[in-house]
A and B are shown apart, each in its own frame.
Chain A
């Protein structure tokens, strides 16, 4: 990594007050500045490091065995780039890596998959990027850069499937007034390991929707962070996860209100079933001194379907200014509601169907909020098959 990227990062720090917190450690481009994390580190304490195949530490980033395919709607540029262009895309989210794996990915991976949406372009068709892994033992790393020009409108779906041990950095730059949706679907095979950091910079008056959907994988840990590049930006961070026996699905969001009159709305919902199904949701919101008149709300709900599951849910709200419109959070973890099941069954609906209705209902409003019709049906089907899986196990 060269030092030429530093000015972009320095700017982000200069325009806002520096708030040091163990929840969001200071960044550095230098890998050596990031010690290998351990269980004692607050931001890693929920993660079963042993199952990460050393991706958090010093696993070699080998030649990728993951195939990557995509469509290119008219006017959109989607391609793998390297050399100077790839170098220049580092830090487009205004971010300096704050973890060892992210710093390593940016330092060691010479190429990046770029989705470039020019200013003013409105793209009706979603850009679908499919990443299909083939080898769970092949530790590898990937970079993605999503650049949305001012006043553009687009939807990008990153879809992960198959087997891989992937460390990934996704940087997102949302231009002023743009309206974009970024979906990351983790539909991995049971043995996949995925360590991912999504970092977005939301322009003035822009609307950014980020959707994290995790069904598969032995271990998925994703940071979905957002900062604001000017006043009036709005971010909606949505998440849906369904953990089966033995799975660890961890979602960490950080809405860093770096500009006035910005909004963040966070809704993550998860279901858990089976022995040692484990989910983690960490909702960090920071309202900096400069961020007057902001509005934030974050919510995490977990539905525990069987014994033996564990759902950790931790909202953190740090407020540096009193001049805000609103700030709130909610977190709830509950079992199946017996009264709901009784009500449905008393109308003739079988127990299996009643459970299915309740789980569908639990996710329904969230799936509607995603606003990508092509994805909605697929998600309903996936929720369905996750439930089937459990019912088979019961039977």
Chain B
């Protein structure tokens, strides 16, 4: 059972006009076994939250704290965070020329586990995981994300989620740009992950449609760098019916 605890997190980015504050005090606790959806309009800072937790160098944490099971995440390097059990499924997965998916997955698995996976069972596990998200196993020989379609990139993120099996998964707009079949396949992967005991999920999305497939325990409306409202699944239904207008107007 793990707990990701975010307390009064303030984050800024460097711009030409000096530092600009994007996150203005975010407080959120994700307990093991819980799925939290963060919903908000474009530019509200949702992705910044995801990347700040993962440790992207572009973002500077100016105050607040992030802990995973009491350990200070902000003190950790990017790779230490992943090894501690955090995983970020990215909205725009990066192409890495010349590095095969198979090499990448094995290297990541070895890093996370601290030992190389057993070759025979590992190949089988990779193939099965790819097949579950309807990804041709031939992708294992291709370069990481190179020439992948948007949907293939997202499936590849889910393959990584399942193989690396973190404590807490942050999914940054994993639903964006997916057709309905791909959305279902990707959602099933996330559901398989969270059906395991004690896994936390932070699902960041602009749209409500993914919530038809992944039922959140908590929904947070994110506006202008903070959480504007907390609620249960019914909050998503309200957003589906009325949009973000009530919250954006309130924020102005």
Say if A and B assemble together. Answer: yes
Partner-B contacts on A (CB < 8 A): 337-340, 342-351, 353-354, 357-358, 360-365
Residue in A closest to B111 when the chains form the complex, CB atoms: A348
Q: Given A342-B57, A358-B99, do A351 and B77 touch, yes or no (CB 8 Å)?
A: yes
Encoded as 1 (CB less than 8 Å from any A CB) or 0, chain B from 89 to 118 comes to 010011111110001100110011000000
Across the interface, do A363 and B82 meet the contact criterion of CB distance under 8 Å?
no
Of the candidates B56, B83, B99, the one whose C-beta lies within 8 Å of that of A364 is B99
Q: Distance in Å from the Cβ of B47 to the closest Cβ of chain A?
A: 14
Closest Cβ of chain A to B58, distance in Å, is: 8
The answer to whether A360 touches B79, judged by C-beta atoms less than 8 angstroms apart, is no
B88 interface hit (Cβ, 8 Å): yes
Residue in A338, A344, A348, A350 whose CB lies within 8 Å of B96: A344
- Which residues of A have CB within 8 Å of B81? 346
Further pairs besides A342-B56, A343-B96: 7, Cβ < 8 Å? A340-B96, A342-B57, A343-B93, A347-B79, A349-B82, A350-B79, A361-B99
Residues in B whose Cβ lies below 8 Å from that of A337: 94
Cα(A347)–Cα(B143), bound, Å: 16
Min distance, Cβ A242 to any Cβ of chain B, angstroms: 15
Centre residue among A340, A342, A364 by max chain B CB count within 10 A? A342
**B221 interfacial by beta-carbon distance below 8 Å:** no
Give the number of chain B interface residues (Cβ < 8 Å): 30
Question: Which residues in B have their C-beta under 8 angstroms from that of A349?
Answer: 79, 82, 107-108, 111
Interface of A is mostly: helix
Q: A350-B111, A351-B79, A353-B111 given as contacts; is B104 within 8 A of A344 (CB)?
A: yes
- Whether a CB of chain A sits under 8 angstroms from the CB of B164 is yes
User: Cα distance A339–B56 when bound, in Å?
Assistant: 9
Closest CB pairs A-B (n = 3): A361-B98, A364-B98, A348-B111
Q: How far is the CA of A338 from the CA of B88 in the complex (A)?
A: 16
B98 touches A365 (CB 8 A): yes
**Nearest B residue to A337 by beta-carbon distance?**
B94
Residues of B within 8 A of A (CB): 54-57, 77-79, 81-83, 87-88, 90, 93-99, 103-104, 107-108, 111-112, 143-144, 160, 164
Cα–Cα, bound, A360→B100 (Å): 11
With A and B bound together, what is the CA distance between A346 and B97 in angstroms? Answer: 17
B80 to chain A, nearest CB (A): 9
Answer whether A357 and B99 are a contact pair too, CB < 8 Å, given A344-B104, A347-B164, A348-B108.
Answer: yes
Task: Report Cα–Cα, A365/B99, bound state, in Å.
Answer: 10
Determine the distance from Cα of A337 to Cα of B144 in the docked complex, in whole angstroms.
14
* Chain B hits for A340, CB < 8 A: 94-96
A349–B107 CA distance with the chains assembled, in angstroms: 7
Residues of A within 8 A of B87 (CB): 346-347
User: Distance (Å) between the CB of A239 and the closest chain B CB?
Assistant: 16
How far does the Cβ of A356 sit from chain B's closest Cβ, in whole Å? 9
**By the criterion CB–CB under 8 Å, are A361 and B78 in contact?**
no
Chain A residues with Cβ below 8 Å from B88 are 346
Residues in chain B near residue A364, CB distance under 8 A: 98-99
The 8 Å CB contact of B78, one of A346, A353, A357, A362, is: A346
* A330 CB to nearest B CB, Å: 14
- Cα distance, A351 to B79, chains bound together (Å): 7
Chain A nearest CB from B121 CB (Å) reads: 19
Contact across chains for B77 and A361 when beta carbons are under 8 A apart:
no
